[in-house]
Amino acid sequence: MVVYTAAGEVLVLRRRQPPDFWQSVTGSLRWDEADPLDAARRELREETGLGDEVEIGGGGVVNRFPILPPWRHRYAPNVAENVEHVFRALLPERRPVVLDPAEHGEYQWLPRAAAAAKVASWTNRDAILNLP
């Protein structure tokens, strides 16, 4: 999910592992979740501390790509492809973010082009560049 402000700043998070891996808010469905939007709301709370007052919109984009070796341990043995639903959350202005220290070590609010250049994933980069 791409979190951004009315001024065009985009929130990016640096993962603990792998080193220097920057991304937007991301996550996976839990076994008991069926709705990707519910998972997006949960991940937003877990990764940023932002709550239900944040309106999440669907970007209407679904990406499919092979799961890379560093992430294979997170998936069932027979799952080879990731299905990524792109969401976005527009905030009127920057908000303080509370990171999960086990998952992320740093965050930045960056202009759209700088955020797109910083993230590691091409799908994340596209989601940032395609913000309204």
- Domain hosting 49: range is 2-129
Taking only the tens place, the pLDDT of each residue in 46-66 is 999 998 789 999 868 889 989
CB atoms within 10 A of CB 58: 13
The whole-model pTM stands at: 0.89
* Least confident range of 20-29, 33-42, 71-80: 71-80
Q: Mean pLDDT score of the chain, rounded to an integer?
A: 92
Q: In CATH, what number is assigned to the domain containing residue 73?
A: 3.90.79.10
Q: Do strands 2-5 and 81-91 pair parallel, antiparallel, or not at all (unpaired)?
A: parallel
Taking only the tens place, the pLDDT of each residue in 97-116 is 999 999 999 999 999 999 99
Domain count of the chain?
1
pLDDT attached to residue 19: 86
pLDDT attached to residue 65: 86
Q: Please choose, from the candidates 106, 110, 95, 115, the residue with its C-alpha nearest in 3D space to the C-alpha of residue 49.
A: 95
Q: How many helices (H) and strands (E) does the chain have?
A: 3, 6
pLDDT attached to residue 30: 85
